[in-house]
Structure 1
Amino acid sequence: MGKHILLLGPPGAGKGTQSKRLAEEFDLEHVTTGDALRSNKGMDISDMDTEYDTPGEYMDAGELVPDEVVNAIVEEALTSADGYVLDGYPRNLEQAEFLTDITDLDAVIYLSVDDEELVDRLTGRRVCPDCGASYHVEFAPPEEEGVCDECGADLEQRDDDTEETVRERLRVYEENTAPVVEHYREEGVLVEVDGEGSPDEVFETLVDVVDA
């Protein structure tokens, strides 16, 4: 029976990278809300009394998919997985309570990173508009500053990577998801891992926690 792991952390903490690696290491499904939504775009939710009949219609309209629909999709993804690393869910207390009802967690891990470090990480990203290559001014800079190694185009900073947008994302995270972290801390199941080391150091600590 595969392990059930929940990885929590603010934007820029490295959740995506680390949960992928954990899933490979322990042979688990990597379940993200985004992927689960995309793979269930056509799911029939007409019995839910929601505005649309499929999740895809919310996405096409650029609207937030309601909690009850996200919950149903996550439940579908988790029940069909023999062990998983859950990343990007639950985003609020209601979702956390729903998760408790549908599954047992073996490990709840919070990647802790200081706000200023998160701002540095998130505002440092640069992307190539032509070939899509991604860089970071500090952690993975191109050979020539501001120029793509792959195709020579000028690198850009995305609108959602500006400091103002990043700070707003962190504020929204704090408002919605910080109570989820507290919820698991109060239950005594939260393990906090320092997310500020190198990706390899952080990964080794996570493996130790899961193996414990």
Structure 2
Amino acid sequence: MVSQNRRYIFLGPQGSGKGTQAKMLADMLGLPHISTGDIFRAAVDQNTILGHHIATGLSSGKLISDEDTNSLMADRLAAQDAKNGFILDGYPRTMAQLEFLEQLAPPTKIFFLDLSDNEAVKRLVGRLVCSGCENVFHLAHKRPKIKGVCDNCGGELAQRDDDVETAIRERLRLYHKETEPLISFYEKDGRLIRVDGRPDIKTVHKVVSEVLQL
């Protein structure tokens, strides 16, 4: 049984910093940071039929099916390290996923990092991701000490194939269509916390920490 009082979700458009904030909170609380992106990439690496479906969706900028996403998420939340709670990053994305999670392990609080589409595009087109630890850098705002090399593990930094403007705009369009009803759902029942996604990382983290009285 997953602990009921430490189930937190970070939602927001691509580029809002939800992954960074989720990881910071997970490290602070000693809980697993569970990202749909990490789960998808792990499935792709396994080279299964499901992995091929996911690879096709990721390369075209489309959302992965609810059935596939829910199946992978159920397996992940059943792991021993998630028994005392978890920090979800980017899940659920649709009402079908929300309903699945409500039955599986209802979240305690949902942090929505609000960011405009133009700001999201600006952030993402300059993003560099480590091939080793997946630490994120930015050409304008967070440059690595050595060009092309991760400060954390020494891995190679590169731009993701789906971090070009056309793919980003399509992902944002799908995000608004599929995800905004979730915001309304969680807001109505009082679990949603709106956080301005524009400030720097430390400022946003401080807001999240204050909400949880940490």
TM-score range, shorter chain: 0.7 to 0.9
1:58 is matched with 50
Q: CA RMSD in A?
A: 3.3
Query: In the alignment, which residue of structure 1 is the partner of 2:116?
Result: 114
Structure 2 distance, partners of 1:125, 1:38, is 18
- Paired residues, number: 193
More displaced 10-residue stretch of structure 1: 5-14 or 62-71: 62-71
Contact 2:44 2:52 in 1 (8 A): no
Do residues 192 (structure 1) and 184 (structure 2) align? Answer: no
The code of the aligned residue for 2:49 comes to E
Residues 36 and 90 of structure 2 are in contact (CA less than 8 Å); yes or no, is this contact kept in structure 1?
A: yes
Distance 1:70 1:149 in 2: 32
TM-score by length of 2: 0.75
Q: Which secondary structure state, in structure 1, belongs to the residue aligned with residue 162 of structure 2?
A: helix
In structure 1, the partner of 2:163 is: 161
SS of residue matched to 1:211:
coil
Unmatched 5+ stretches in structure 2: 58-63, 151-156
1:37 shift after superposition: 4.8
- Distance between the aligned counterparts of 1:162 and 1:90, measured in 2? 24
Give 2:60's aligned residue. none
Which residue of 1 is the match for residue 102 of structure 2?
100
Q: Larger Rg: 1 or 2?
A: 1
**Residues 33 and 157 (structure 1), Cα distance of their counterparts in 2 relative to 1, 3 Å cut:** closer
**Alignment gaps of 5+ in structure 1:** 43-53
Extract structure 1 runs of 4+ deviating beyond 6 A. Answer: none
Offset of 1:34 from its aligned partner?
Answer: 3.4
Q: Percent identity?
A: 36
Return the alpha-carbon distance in structure 2 between the equivalents of residues 21 and 133 of structure 1: 12
Per-residue deviation, 1:120: 1.1
Out of 54-63 and 13-22, give the one that drifted further.
54-63
1-structure distance, mates of 2:75, 2:28: 23
After superposition, residues 169-180 of structure 1 pair within 5 angstroms as: 169-180=171-182
2:160, 2:74 → 1: CA distance?
Answer: 33
Specify the code of the residue in structure 2 equivalent to 1:125.
R
- Give me the whole-angstrom Cα distance separating, in 2, the residues matched to 1:30 and 1:169: 22
Q: Structure 1 residues 156 and 5, CA, compared in 2 at 3 Å: closer, same or farther?
A: closer
